[in-house]
Structure 1
Amino acid sequence: MVPDYNPLIIEPKWQKKWDEDKLYKVTEDPSKPEWYALTMFPYTSGDLHIGHWYAMAPSDVHARFKRMQGFNVLHPMGFDAFGLPAENAAIKHGIHPHSWTMKNVENMRRQLKSIGAIYDWDREVITCQPEYYKWTQWFFLKLYEAGLAYRAKAPVNWCPKCNVVLANEQVVDGGCWRCETPVIRRALNQWFFRITRYADELMQHDGLDWPERIKTMQKNWVGRSEGAEICFDVDCDKETEGTIKVFTTRPDTVYGITYVVLAPEHPLVEKITTPDQADQVAAYVEATRKRTEIERLSTEKEKDGVFTGAYVLNHVNGERVPVWIGDYVLLSYGTGMVMGVPAHDYRDFAFAKKYGLPIKTVIAPPDWRGEELTEAYVDEGVMVNSASFNGMSSSEG
């Protein structure tokens, strides 16, 4: 008769044996094809939970499957041990962040070993240790040497009490998630990677056996756009000179521009705002400081803005175009300024209707007879009110 299975006795016995024999230790073996199975390292926040097993159990099954197929499988494990949460937890519990982190690593290692996964524990890494992060520093230096890493000023979420930059997820109802102090937007020097150099390569999906959903996600993540940059001369009562660039994917609609919108944090805002609009602009800029980028870009939020009192010149037709500021425009995206073509963009149309701005049709819908549009027309058509381009197809103009 088969004795009852008692996991409290049998599992610790064999896990101890596997550990002593280093059953899952991986060494180089040229006779076998190699397979690298990496699962995202857990963050050292305390205890593992059921969500970790959803990730780790299936990945372990797959690693075992590849091993049974004859692959020399490297299935490492480590701990993501950097970040503000570790510091916050240490402050809360009154202990040093290193002590808190390593205590959690020890506990999580024990929990992970209890599932009997085929991890090679001799290859364990802990990201806050110099033995690991010296290689991330090495990678960064290589990127810097190749001209792929650079510094530039960009707006961030700043908590004036904690004196720390916050991620968008750490801003709750406009306040710091830890101390509830109102968060402000502040320009600080930061490091960036020139990932746009690889946009074309990353968009080449031919031959990739990926689901269409994943290809779409990749396309949206890369965010590659083709278009043109258009320059506008500043034209206002103040002694301000210079040009502002706008990137657009619809240069065929440039004759229909009836306003432009600057990001509230754009350095030109203060220079061009007229005295009679100064109070309104300052109040709007201050309110924007308390909003995260996620809140500002929400498609559920109605566009709003404030007129600066200034104008720019549209060189294609010589018209003076009013300059507004709006929180849906980000300084960190594109040029920090967008052009408003309400006749041919749904959200521009709503903005123009809200603030009584002109709506000028420059691409005629089918059977159009010059009547005022009741909604934006965003498809291709025949160009009108566009000087020498009149009568041309918008796809050619």
Structure 2
Amino acid sequence: MLWVVINHYASDIQPFRTTCPEHDRREPDNCPGTFTFCTANVILCPEFIVRFNNNRNVYWRVHEVAKRLLNQDPQLNLTRNLTQSVCREHIVETKLPVIDIILLQEVFERHNAHHLLQHLSPTYPYCIYDIASHKLSINCCLMGSGLFLASRYPVLDAFFHPYSRVSHYGMLVSLGVLSVKLDLGVMKGPEEEELRAVGYIANTHTQAYQGKKQILVAQLEEMRLVFNRFITKTHNPQKEVVVFAVVGGDFNCDNISPGDQPTRELPLFQEYEDPCRESAGRDKTWAVGSELRQQRMALLPMLDPTTFRTVLLDDVERRKFVLDADVQEHTTDLMYSSPKGDPITGELKPMEGGGGRRIDYLLLRVGDLARPVAYWFSSTMASLSDHIPVAMMIERKVEEGEEEMDKREKDREGQAGERRGEEGLNSKKQELF
């Protein structure tokens, strides 16, 4: 009762915690030429929910999740797998590239966030966590949003917006969108003036198992409007230039399933580019699903990133462990579903959308000063989550007069990537609290 009263009268207090070291007092650097993002639902929930999802002990997994997030390969950052003939073998990897900004979902408890910070903060000093808006009308003053952001770049502004329409368990969780503005360094303006380069990023987790209600349509449209308003409100066009606006997270819908037709036709997917999407209702041939069959998570092929990568590359084996994109209605039956074999022989065969329920997204706003050049599905979280992490690298478009600066940036890229990839291993843990 006291918790409810406190939240009622403290509703204007910042609904999240941050780590903001003294790095933001340094002299600004030139804006880099590339930026890499990762989103992952890591299921760091209360233990009884973890068991319900057929996952392992959360108190062990939180440390293992952090270690695998930091298991990054700088060589991947040298590839541009979207700018050449794309094949799945170059898209599905056992590790992550060197990541600049990490978006996590389902980091629900504060102590789990603190454990993540112990591992991540030496490499990612700017973090936002414990994000929630506790009200009886939003989450019954119970669970937070589970959203978590870790960045190499300083945070200039942040805003959390809880969704106004939820159902079922969503009434107990502060589902919403976190909008963040980042300081990327400096760039030259059209008259050689120095402008602050900024990037915008949104992290969201939407309603699961919506049933017959069109909750996801309302939430994704609300996210788009809230994020666009945040950009308009916080951007100073006289002193700043926006390099990118990226939306990521667990959308709980895919681009192929018949039951997800209303969501794939939203304006969001016209304003923001999905590198894995060929068109509404059709994914690129190299894309794979990201939502796993929960009842099979403890089987041998799921226990190791290398063997799980082999599974993801096979059109038949993948169907055994990743949900097919043939969902008619979002219900809890998805937790127990098995792949459908041939109606006559029962044999499991490749099919359109087989193992292709892709519900974890990274989208880039169309018309920004960057373009997607690489994309990855990573098997690094094998056995730790029922979601597959995805990563995207974008490259800044070079304006006239910036060619020489960009050339120098690319010459340093290999060394810088290797150095950043080793930071998390070589840095001593910092005491944050």
Same fold (TM over 0.5): no
Instruction: Specify which structure has the bigger relative contact order, considering alpha-carbon pairs within 8 angstroms and separated by 6 or more residues.
Output: 2
Larger Rg: 1
- Which range, TM-score by smaller chain? under 0.3
Q: TM-score, normalised by structure 2?
A: 0.24
Q: TM-score, normalised by structure 1?
A: 0.26
Q: As a proportion of its length, which structure holds more helix?
A: 1
